[in-house]
Amino acid sequence: MLTEQTKSIIKSTTPLFKEKGEEITSKMYALLFAEHPEVKELFAQAPSGQPKILASAIMNYCNNLENLEAMEQELEQIARRHVFRRVQAEHYPFVGAALIQAMKETLGDVATDEVVSAWQEVYTSLANVLIQRESEIYASTY
């Protein structure tokens, strides 16, 4: 459950993420693959616009913090794609660390400790939703 302070920080910084989101996610993938080359194969069949797709999904999540039911179909599609590509729960911390580092590098002084903490909380929340659904799909499929 996200705190009200986190929601407030995310709402106030979402416009900046919207402006810089694709730059952040492009940098995130570069950092992720440099630090964890073993996960690159999970993205081998991903569309060339994957940074834009991820930035859009993060924006949708941030815009619907108060109403995740509005994202139910999108989250289901993401979870199913992840299962198809064999994404595992242990991959999420790698992505989260790379995303936060990319945000720090891209946003500079705007990425205060408070802002970074809020985005980490939101990423963890989203990751937990996906991990839970993906584990259900894995259990019913395999």
Q: How far apart are CA 4 and CA 107, in angstroms?
A: 23
Q: How far apart are CA 91 and CA 128, in angstroms?
A: 12
> Two tokens at 5?
């302070």
Active site residue 114: no
Find the catalytic residue in 29, 61, 92, 123: 92
For residue 134, indicate whether it is catalytic.
Answer: yes
Structure tokens, 34: 């440099």
The one catalytic residue in 29, 61, 123, 134 is 134
Provide the residue count of the chain: 142
Phi, psi dihedrals of residue 115, rounded to the nearest 5°: -65, -45
- Residues assigned a catalytic role: 92, 134
